Amino acid sequence: MKNTKDVRILSIAPSTRGFGYAVIEGNDKLVDWGVKSISGDKNNGSLTRIEKMMAFYEPKFMVLQDVKDSRRAPRIRELIEQIAVLARNRKVRVVLLSRKQIQQVFFHEGRGTKYALAELLAEWFPEELGDHLPPKRKPWMSEDYRMDIFEAVALGVAVRL
């Protein structure tokens, strides 16, 4: 998508804890990135935080995961829909990218693991994300919360490539 090169993009990756976020500007300049943990009513809490971020960064594009053909939890699906509505109400263009589309952007074969993608992004943004790369998880471990950052950055970068 060529017209996303000169604008500010906010990408959000909701998860069980809260959401990961990334703000990308110009030619792949990572302006802000991180994870917000939400307690209590996660959807309402997330929406409040995201609304504040939208007011602060005034993005032109909001990038979210396309969950049509995915197996995401009903709460996450609902949250993504609510975020999209919130963005449209603020005249922010919403771009939905499926997991398949993201993988096609980053991997030659069109397939790769989440961790391989995180490693790739940590190489692209060593100053920003190098310290956030968690150790590769073992089968008995649950996913590290920092993976949400990489998901959000992947969404933001994929929309420009």
Instruction: Report the residue number, 4 or 103, with the smaller CB distance to other proteins.
Output: 4
Instruction: Report the residue number, 41 or 58, with the smaller CB distance to other proteins.
Output: 58
Q: Give the distance, in angstroms, between the CA of residue 14 and the centroid of all CA atoms in the same chain.
A: 8
The dihedrals phi and psi of 80, each to the nearest 5 degrees, come to -60, -40
Taking the complex as a whole, the smallest distance from the CB of residue 155 to other proteins amounts, in Å, to 18
Give the DSSP per-residue string, 133-159: -PPPPPTTSPPPTTHHHHHHHHHHHHT
Taking the complex as a whole, the smallest distance from the CB of residue 91 to other proteins amounts, in Å, to 15
d(CA 150, CA 9): 15
Residues forming the site for other proteins (CB under 8 A): 5-8, 25-26, 30-34, 56-58, 60, 127-128, 131
Instruction: Report the residue number, 32 or 78, with the smaller CB distance to other proteins.
Output: 32
Taking the complex as a whole, the smallest distance from the CB of residue 6 to other proteins amounts, in Å, to 5
Which H/E stretch holds residue 116? helix 114-124
